[in-house]
Amino acid sequence: IESGYQVWTTPFGYFCEWDLSVYGESLAKVWKEIY
C-alpha cells in the first residue's frame, strides 16, 4: 500500500483510527486484511 504515509511506524493502532475517520471503510477493510 503506497499512500505516502509511513504505515509501518504505526503506534498502537493510532494510525488505524486516524485512517478510519479520514478515509472510511475502504481503508478499514484493508487494515483488517493486513492484521
Domain ranges within the chain, ordered by starting residue: 8-35
Task: Judge contact between 19 and 25, C-beta under 8 A.
Answer: no
pLDDT at 29 over 60: yes
Query: What distance in Å separates the CA atoms of residue 24 and residue 18, rounded to the nearest whole number?
Result: 9
Q: Which are the contacts of 30, defined by CB distance < 8 A and separation ≥ 6? A: 1
Task: Judge contact between 31 and 16, C-beta under 8 A.
Answer: yes
Q: For the CA atoms of the chain, what is the radius of gyration? A: 9
User: What mean pLDDT, rounded, does the chain reach?
Assistant: 58
Quick: pLDDT tens for 1-13. Answer: 555 555 555 555 5
